[in-house]
Amino acid sequence: MSRQHTLLMPLDMHLHLRDGVMLETVAPLSSYTFSGAVVMPNLVPPITSKESLLAYKERVLLACGYGVDSDNFEDGDGLGGSDFEPLMTLFYQNYSEDFLQEVRDDIFAIKLYPAGITTNSEGGVESFDIETMRPTLEAMARMDIPLLVHGETDGFVMDREAEFMSIYKLLAENFPDLKIVMEHITTMAAVDMLERHENLYATITIHHLLITLDDVAGGMLAPHLFCKPIAKRPEDREALLKVALEAHPKVMFGSDSAPHPQHRKEACGCAAGVFTAPIALQLLCELFDKHGKLENLQNFVSDNAQNIYGICPEFKEVILENKEFKIPERYGEVVPIYAGKTIAWSIEDVI
């Protein structure tokens, strides 16, 4: 007899929705099962102004199935329905306090990328000169605007996140009132940092809980598992699993679901990104169930984020069932993780 497990108000605290046709393809897949998601700003060009932010939010809501009428977002047709909130972010620059005051009510956080370290990050931070950054970061702390960080250097690919720990330390100690989130952590070093600084938090993806570098390149190259930060060693995965399965209060789920068309993944110069959005909750249920920790999944996918950020998401009840589900070969032009494979949990209903 199959079992069911209910999740209330699931949240994806790190999501790439892209733009244009890709946005229209992937946004409804997240808005169907999640109450909200933190939407990344690394478009081309990146989201750095109030005008571009509001225009992008409107496109996201339209893609999710909302009709737009002046300042009001009304329900429309589509898979996404009406119970999804895109939590919008700006691409980090050294913004003035006046600008931050102007956009405060329209943004959830600001996302910092080191220059050139990942997809569409060429306009990111060139050097971490604390005094140059201080006016912006101190203003963010006063206004309670979180700083979300892609934490990698430009060193050897397996060491990039660990090398970035000194920068997290620098930021955390210089700006103790600033909420800093280490995005999509992949290493034991990052897990250790959670206990060292009160103002450091972290998101963890489903794919980094499942794979190591061996899955990506240990046999035939698996382009749909290639991402940045790259999957690491088994001992790193075990450290991530420990804090995720126990729902450590400073960690939360962020899919880092990053869609690319199939022709950009299965190509020379393979694009970095794993697409997990439509099957993330099913995979999480399977993983937590396998380890006997299903009772902790609610905290990992919602409650911790609510507590960390002080947010109250749109109500949504997702009922999952311990019933086999075959992952589609593709969603539009995008190939998901484990395409064509059968997993143990499926979505039974969304209320």
pLDDT digits (tens, 9 = 90+) for 71-124: 333 333 334 445 899 999 999 999 999 999 999 999 999 999 999 888 888 889
CB 5 within 8 A of CB 298: no
Q: State the average pLDDT over residues 289-316.
A: 97
Report the alpha-carbon distance of residue 103 to residue 90 in Å, rounded. Answer: 10
Burial 194-233 (b: 16+ CB within 10 A, else e): beebebbbbbbbbbbbbbbbeebeeeeeebbbbbbbbbbe
Pick the CATH number of 10-314 from 3.40.50.2300, 3.20.20.140, 2.60.40.3140, 3.40.50.300: 3.20.20.140
More confident residue, 246 or 73: 246
pLDDT score of 75: 35
Q: How confident is the model at residue 292 (pLDDT cuts 50, 70, 90)?
A: very high
pLDDT surpasses 60 at 184 = yes
pLDDT of residue 127 exceeding 70: yes
Average pLDDT over residues 285-301: 98
Please tell me the distance from the alpha carbon of residue 8 to that of residue 289, in angstroms, as a whole number: 17
Using CA atoms, how far residue 157 sits from 18, 161, 194, 231, in Å, is 25, 8, 22, 10
Lowest-confidence segment of 121-125, 243-247, 265-269 by average pLDDT: 121-125
- pLDDT at res. 70: 31
**pLDDT band for position 2 (50/70/90)?**
confident
Instruction: Decide if pLDDT at 193 tops 70.
Output: yes
Give the per-residue pLDDT at 19.
98
DSSP class of 123 = T
CA-wise closest residue to 94 among 52, 127, 53:
127
Q: Which residues pair with 264 in a beta bridge?
A: none
Average pLDDT for 287-296 = 98
Question: What residues are paired with 334 via a beta bridge?
Answer: 331
Q: What pLDDT is stored for residue 119 in this prediction?
A: 85
CA distance 303 to 35: 12
Q: List the catalytic residues.
A: 256
Flag the least confident range among 126-135, 136-145, 199-208. 126-135
pLDDT of residue 126: 87
Q: Where are the domains of the chain?
A: 10-314
pLDDT of residue 111: 98
Sequence letter at residue 81: G
The yes-or-no verdict on residue 60 having pLDDT over 90 is yes
Q: What is the pTM of this model?
A: 0.95
Q: Is the pLDDT of residue 1 over 80?
A: no
Please tell me the predicted confidence (pLDDT) of residue 82.
57
Indicate the average pLDDT of the chain.
Answer: 94
